[in-house]
């Protein structure tokens, strides 16, 4: 009885801590600009500074949290769906499809993600989202549906490699787009505005609601497909709905911020290292953790070398990769100690 009480209580405390951390990083992120840290509480007397905070810093900061929340949610769904702790949101080829969509848009229209016109940014965002959706559809066609998880996993890897190679080929044929593509592949929250925040918020609420509804099915899948089928779960329909949630969450985040690595992979691991809980709580906590991770990385990317800015995707890859290496080393030491004892 004690274990049953402690785990929900620990999950609740973790959720409250993540919400407080989110609020703190939102305030901190809104205070970091091209000149470094400047308290957002001191801008009320300066109309120009207040406009910069309202139109640039706040939407960027909130957008970073929302993109991280989408990736954290997608990572928890992917790991539950494939029953693989190394599964990440890009496993179905959506990231490679988004990159190909942006590359094609750059070649056809000659746009750059550094352009300020919202029409241009909307075009790149739409191309990235369309490319991600096309990649997922190709994965489903190659896997011949959602009946076999292993075939779906292999099809996603194949589609990702092929579409990634096509993007590289386009960059070699049209070297003028390399700088723009590099900005997309390294990830950036610098182009996020209030419209993008509205889109990501709507998608996050939708995907989170659907994931909550499907959380019991993920608990059943974690016991094995045979057990899940014996429990009466409609596995094809469940997999289709989970893939839809995964594709929508990942495609929306990638379309708005580019390819940001390790957030979706690391967030569920961080939650599991603190608390063992059901998928309903795991999805929510992973989403909050992803938001805090990306927002913290974005704040560091803007503030460490101000006025220069580090690519946030590079920072998340270094921090996330370092954490996973530490986790693997720790697990191997624990296993060795258990074996010696």
Residue 105: the pLDDT is 85
- Separation CA 167–CA 190 (nearest Å): 23
Does position 219 have pLDDT exceeding 60, yes or no?
yes
Average pLDDT over residues 58-62: 92
Give the tens place of pLDDT for each residue, 144-180. 877 777 888 888 889 999 999 999 999 888 888 888 8
Which of 219, 310, 267 has the alpha carbon at shortest distance from 69? 267
Residue 73: the pLDDT is 95
Does position 338 have pLDDT exceeding 70, yes or no?
no
Residue 294: the pLDDT is 93
pTM for this model (two decimals): 0.85
Give the confidence band of 47 by pLDDT, cuts at 50, 70, 90: confident
* Residue 327, both tokens: 């986790």
* DSSP state string for 212-242: HHHHHHHHHHTT-HHHHHHTT--HHHHHHHH
Give the tens place of pLDDT for each residue, 66-87. 999 999 999 999 998 888 888 8
Radius of gyration of the chain (CA): 20
- Separation CA 68–CA 257 (nearest Å): 10
Give the confidence band of 262 by pLDDT, cuts at 50, 70, 90: confident
- Asked if 163 and 96 count as a contact pair (C-beta separation under 8 A), the reply is yes
- Asked if 77 and 217 count as a contact pair (C-beta separation under 8 A), the reply is no
Give bridge partners of residue 33 from the DSSP assignment.
36
* Residue 201, both tokens: 């918020």
CB-count exposure of residue 159 (10 Å: 0-12, 13-18, 19+): buried
Give bridge partners of residue 36 from the DSSP assignment.
33
Task: For the chain, give every domain's residue range.
Answer: 2-340
| The CATH number of the domain covering residues in 2-340 | 1.10.3470.10
């Amino acid at each position: 009885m004690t274990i049953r009480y402690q785990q929900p209580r620990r999950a609740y405390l973790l959720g409250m801590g993540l919400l407080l951390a989110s609020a703190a990083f939102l305030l901190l992120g809104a205070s970091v600009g091209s000149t470094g840290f400047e308290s957002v509480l001191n801008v009320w007397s300066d109309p120009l500074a207040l406009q910069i905070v309202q139109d640039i810093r706040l939407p960027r900061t909130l957008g970073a949290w929302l993109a991280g929340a989408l990736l954290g949610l997608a990572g928890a769904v992917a790991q539950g769906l494939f029953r693989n702790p190394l599964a990440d949101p890009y496993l179905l080829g959506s990231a490679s499809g988004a990159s190909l969509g942006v590359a094609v848009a750059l070649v056809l229209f000659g746009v750059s993600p550094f352009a300020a016109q919202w029409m241009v940014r909307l075009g790149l965002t739409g191309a990235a989202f369309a490319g991600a959706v096309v990649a997922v559809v190709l994965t489903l066609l190659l896997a011949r549906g959602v009946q076999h998880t292993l075939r779906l996993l292999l099809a996603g890897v194949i589609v990702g490699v092929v579409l990634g190679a096509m993007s590289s080929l386009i960059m070699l044929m049209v070297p003028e787009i390399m700088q723009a593509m590099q900005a997309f592949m390294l990830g950036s929250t610098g182009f996020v505005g209030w419209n993008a925040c509205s889109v990501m918020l709507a998608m996050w609420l939708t995907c989170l609601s659907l994931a909550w509804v499907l959380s019991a099915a993920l608990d059943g899948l974690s016991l094995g497909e045979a057990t899940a089928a014996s429990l009466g779960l409609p596995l094809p329909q469940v997999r289709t709905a989970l893939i839809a949630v995964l594709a929508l969450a990942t495609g929306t985040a990638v379309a708005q911020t580019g390819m940001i690595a390790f957030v979706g992979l690391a967030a569920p691991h961080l939650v599991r290292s603190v608390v063992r809980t059901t998928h309903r709580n795991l999805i929510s906590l992973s989403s909050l953790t992803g938001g805090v991770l990306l927002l913290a990385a974005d704040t560091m990317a803007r503030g460490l070398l101000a006025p220069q800015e580090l690519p946030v995707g590079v920072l998340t890859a270094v921090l996330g990769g370092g954490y996973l290496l530490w986790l693997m080393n720790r697990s191997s030491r624990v296993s060795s100690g258990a074996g010696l004892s």
